[in-house]
Amino acid sequence: MNTRSRWRLAANSTAYLVAVVAAFPIFWMVLSAFKPKGEVQSLHPRPWTTHPTLESFRQVLGVDGFGRYFLNSVVIALAVVVLSGVVVFLAAVAVTRFRFRFRTTVMVMFLIAQMIPVEALTIPLFFMFRDAGRFAPGIGLNTLASLILVQLAFSLPFGIWMMRGFVAAVPVSIEEAAQIDGASRTRILWRILLPLVAPGLAATSVFSFIAAWNDFVFAKTFIISATQNQTLPSALLVFFKPDENDWGGIMAASTLMTLPVLVFFVAVQRKLVSGLAGAVKD
């Protein structure tokens, strides 16, 4: 074996080793979710199980009502993805395809909005939603709508920044050609530009989906009395007990919470990576 292939072997082995370490917590979570209670609460945990069971899943979905929280999280994440997709697309077109006064100011404001520690805004937002709820109970505290609105707001600035690159990458000449062919402005926007930036929109939606799905602080703060409107992350805290944590339940709930994102992410990973690469080359 020459030096070159020995290097290659070492590099490949390192890659596999890192991959194992990176994936191990996920493996451990899924494994523990399928272990019988007795095995999860064992002093000498084993990296396998001979008696896989759905016991923990049955418990969290049945007794602890996680099905409901799961559904709430899905509703919020989907609403955010769809709504922010539309808003982000329109705004990205505005800032890439048009020159107008204050354009730079608008971009800087999006950038600043992206940097804001959202947790700091929980305090004013809490009171705003509390007061709004007096006039419009549908968007007050304890509602899914309040969480959708907040997540939508916080996903926009980053989405617009990300989308900007994708819109800019579409040659203006395509639109001009359509214009010459007599297509209306609206038609150009929805029928020509939108399909062309669809991969970018998909990549952007990954981030807004994940942000909405992961939200812990707002769900914990806004949903105080209407427990049926809790979402997965904040409901998970229920399992943390002062004396001994129910790790089987926690791992089953965590698995339920991770799998949708994981499947989604791995499914779009090629798009995401090539999207990044493409954008870099541009």
Partner 1 sequence: MSAPTTTAPAASAPPAGRRRGAGPAAPPRGRRRTPLLLLLPAAVILIPLVAYPIYQLGLLSVLDFGQAQASGGVPTRFVGFDNYRGILTDQQFWTVLAQTVGFAAFCVVATLVVGAALAVLLTRIGRTARLVLTTASMAAWAAPAMTGSTVWSFLFDTNLGLVNDLLVKLGLSGFHEYNWFYDKWTAFLIVGAVVVWHSYPFVMVTLYAGINAIPAEILEAASLDGANTWTTFRRVTAPMLRPILTIVVIQSVIWDFKVFTQIYVMTTGGGIAGQNLVLNVYAYQKAFASSQYGLGAAIGVIMLLILVIPTALYIRTLRRTGNEL
Rule CB under 8 A: is residue 202 a binding residue for partner 1? Answer: no
What CA–CA distances, in Å, run from 102 to 95, 98, 250? 10, 11, 49
The closest alpha carbon to 125, from 155, 146, 148, 156, belongs to 146
51/103 with CB nearer partner 1? 103
137/176 with CB nearer partner 1? 176
CB 87 within 8 A of CB 156: yes
The closest alpha carbon to 226, from 133, 97, 123, belongs to 133
Interacting stretch for partner 1, rule CB under 8 A, among 24-32, 52-60, 62-70, 190-198?
Answer: 24-32
Neighbour tally for 80: CB within 10 Å:
27
List b or e across 161-175, with b for residues whose CB sees 16 or more CB atoms inside 10 angstroms: bbbbbbbbebeeeeb
Question: Of 16, 48, 180, 225, which lies in the binding site for partner 1, with binding defined by CB under 8 A?
Answer: 16
Rule CB under 8 A: is residue 148 a binding residue for partner 1? Answer: no
Rule CB under 8 A: is residue 20 a binding residue for partner 1? Answer: yes
227/279 with CB nearer partner 1? 279
Interacting stretch for partner 1, rule CB under 8 A, among 52-60, 61-69, 74-82, 166-174?
Answer: 166-174
Which residues 6+ apart lie within 8 Å of 273 measured at CB? Answer: none
Neighbour tally for 193: CB within 10 Å:
20
Residues 86-145 that bind partner 1 (CB under 8 A): 86-88, 90-91, 93-100, 103-104, 106-108, 111-128
Rule CB under 8 A: is residue 272 a binding residue for partner 1? Answer: yes
Question: Of 192, 207, 227, 271, which lies in the binding site for partner 1, with binding defined by CB under 8 A?
Answer: 207
- Mask of contacts with partner 1, 212-251, x by CB under 8 A? -xx-xx---x----------xx--xx--x----x-x--xx
81/236 with CB nearer partner 1? 236
CB of 6 to partner 1, least distance (A): 12
Rule CB under 8 A: is residue 190 a binding residue for partner 1? Answer: no
User: What is the dihedral angle through the alpha carbons of 95, 80, 203, 188, rounded to the nearest 10 degrees?
Assistant: -50
Question: Of 157, 205, 222, 230, which lies in the binding site for partner 1, with binding defined by CB under 8 A?
Answer: 157
d(CA 276, CA 142): 38
Interacting stretch for partner 1, rule CB under 8 A, among 48-56, 61-69, 190-198, 210-218?
Answer: 210-218
The closest alpha carbon to 208, from 277, 271, 154, 266, belongs to 154
Question: Of 45, 65, 133, 199, which lies in the binding site for partner 1, with binding defined by CB under 8 A?
Answer: 45
Rule CB under 8 A: is residue 165 a binding residue for partner 1? Answer: yes
| Runs of H (alpha helix) within the chain | 3-34, 37-40, 55-58, 66-97, 103-115, 118-135, 144-168, 172-180, 185-187, 194-196, 198-214, 217-222, 232-236, 247-281
